[in-house]
Structure 1
Amino acid sequence: MSNHTRSIVRISGLLSIVLLAACSSQPLVTAQEGQLERTTSFPELPADSGRYFIADPLPSGSVVETSAPRRQLVVLDAANTRTIDTLRFFTDANGLPLIEMPIEPVAASDQLRVAIDALGWRVRQVELDESRISIDGSPWLQRRTDQLFPARPQINIYFYSFSNGTQVHMEREGDMPFPVATQRELLQELFAQLQ
């Protein structure tokens, strides 16, 4: 048998094996029925709190793909920027509450000052150059405990330009904590007054 014939036989054999493997492979399917739960318990694992509960798992026998689906991502560019169309209250990607206003910061500062006056919050300082209105935070925040004569807590309301409008957020003056729940409560009151 010549070398050429041997090569053809080898190639034919390999192709046959690949074809048989492709034809005999079964699709992957799920086997577990009902809710997903731990099958074993270890003392090192935290208690099962249901935090990652899946309400509707795949039923038994569902076909599962071995490759992830491809997604076409939409990337915002200079020609496709997000605009502020309406007054809205929302939580950003960091979990912080914000107000968006569809007007420029100078006009927004005027509306904010009117709303702050209507709420009865005590304004301590207005710094338009720094896009900041400072109010007395005593009704909501504790004074410092590491000073002999601690100053009253101060909350800064920042209004800065974003896209075609203004974003408003709060920060506490200094390095003391400012709970997100308190920020959200105050900004919701401010938002209700702006409407």
Structure 2
Amino acid sequence: MRDISKKKVIVLATHGFEQSELEVPVHKLAEAGATVHVVSPEAGSIKGWDKTDWGSPVQVDVLLDDVNPEEYHAIVLPGGQINPDLLRVNDAAIALIRAMFDQDKVVAAICHAPWLLIEAGIVDGRDVTSYKSIRTDLINAGGNWIDAEVVVDNGVVTSRNPGDLDAFCEKIAEEIQEGKHDRDAA
């Protein structure tokens, strides 16, 4: 994994995040040197979903209302069905994702989390992937859906499912290391 020391990463989640899709990026990005903060609309802890049942709680580091996107280099959006569905109707969550995108920072979404990219209005004209059940949603939002492990389009990193977490995390670190992404072309 690339060295991303002195970089700060947001992992935005709420109850129902897919356990591995939050925990593995937090661990791997921190292992690569980044400071990683779990950001949520809820204080205290949020509970994950682990394949077929409720998983373990994860401590929230920063409340969504208190986060300053200018202090971070990337945002990671874990999937699962519940987490992104709850967050896509949260105006503050969508505003944070859009702010990170508008500041030319890395925006990464896995599994069902590209729903959040649709809500933030950043899919149109981009190459993306996702869990297969939201493929049509991404296409209808103007995305060029590609059946691939990980797809990168100018700092927007998408991955289709938890089996691809190592490649997903590596691409996030690579994009963070590259720095800001000029998105005028998309």
TM-score (norm 1): 0.24
Q: Structure with the greater relative contact order (CA < 8 A, sep ≥ 6): 1 or 2?
A: 2
* Structure holding more helix per residue: 2
* Structure holding more strand per residue: 2
